[in-house]
Structure 1
């Protein structure tokens, strides 16, 4: 085929190519913005830590309401824990209640809280767990660990971090 035998210009095909390139570019830009927005706002890549933050928010709300049976179920990630309390004999409800009232991480009864920020910790791109920073009673910062593999919570966390 020589240059003189080139196929005729197909405007429809060229428009399709251009639109596909623009669409691909916009999609990639949107993915990058969402990924970075999660990091910048302190909620993890693609906002992947929001689930852990929500769970800790529910946990602390139950503690504030003094609903320790619900809070304990969230802490051990087992809403039916009362049907098999022997499974948690190493950390029973009575000890849990003392830890979150008398010996609270805030040094006093938790009356209010605000989930501030979270970071991923551990190995892998999304880590083995999430450290969630919370301000309780308006001024005291505490950090709670969320374990990804089983959904349990732990205090204190293996690490803490600085933030504004």
Structure 2
């Protein structure tokens, strides 16, 4: 049987290790909590999960501005080898070019754009797709829908996002 006199010596190193571990875990939890909600509040999805989709839509509009319609079409259909099997798509390149030039959502050439916000749409934790709001030529809002399952884009999106 041990007595109080046989107690181990106090080890300040062990106490510091426990204290720093607890502080680190609490800090990581707090930062993770704010990171998760900050993405949602700022309009980029929970934990900024929509950022990769926003980048794809940004590349799409960069290609349209550069009049690189083949690259834009590849991004739209999510198939960089689309030229090897063009009959696979029900939306042919000439129609795509016409829709994004003559009949574009801004009624003219796209000269500038800015990806504003995005929102997850559909069912499930991260939805079946993402709606990305893009301000084109300074004033016109265009809403692109990106399907999570196959990465294809659709315009117009099934919903319009309300924002300033």
TM-score category, normalised to shorter length:
over 0.9
The CA RMSD over aligned residues, in Å, is: 1.6
SS of alignment partner, residue 144 of structure 2: strand
Counterpart of 1:10 in structure 2 is 11
Instruction: Give deviations 1:64-91, integer Å, cap 9, x for gaps.
Output: 1111111101100011100111111x11
Counterpart of 1:144 in structure 2 is 144
Counterpart of 1:25 in structure 2 is 26
TM-score by length of 1: 0.92
TM-score by length of 2: 0.92
Instruction: Give deviations 1:17-57, integer Å, cap 9, x for gaps.
Output: 21111010111111112112212221111111111111011
- How many angstroms apart in 2 are the aligned matches of 1:18 and 1:36? 28
SS of alignment partner, residue 131 of structure 1: strand
Counterpart of 1:40 in structure 2 is 41
- How many angstroms apart in 2 are the aligned matches of 1:7 and 1:159? 69
Judge which range, 119-128 or 11-20, deviates more. 11-20
Matched ranges for 1:100-111 at <5 A: 100-111=100-111
- Report the number of matched residues: 163
Matched ranges for 1:64-83 at <5 A: 64-83=65-84
SS of alignment partner, residue 38 of structure 2: helix
- How many angstroms apart in 1 are the aligned matches of 2:23 and 2:33? 15
Residue 5 of structure 1: how far off its partner (Å): 6.7
SS of alignment partner, residue 156 of structure 1: coil
Gaps of 5+ in 1: none
Instruction: Give deviations 1:73-119, integer Å, cap 9, x for gaps.
Output: 1100011100111111x110011111111111122221111100001
- How many angstroms apart in 2 are the aligned matches of 1:151 and 1:13? 51
- How many angstroms apart in 2 are the aligned matches of 1:161 and 1:5? 71
Counterpart of 1:163 in structure 2 is 163
- Aligned CA distance change for structure 1 residues 16 and 132 (closer, same or farther; 3 Å): same
Gaps of 5+ in 2: none
Matched ranges for 1:112-131 at <5 A: 112-131=112-131
Residue 123 of structure 1: how far off its partner (Å): 1.2
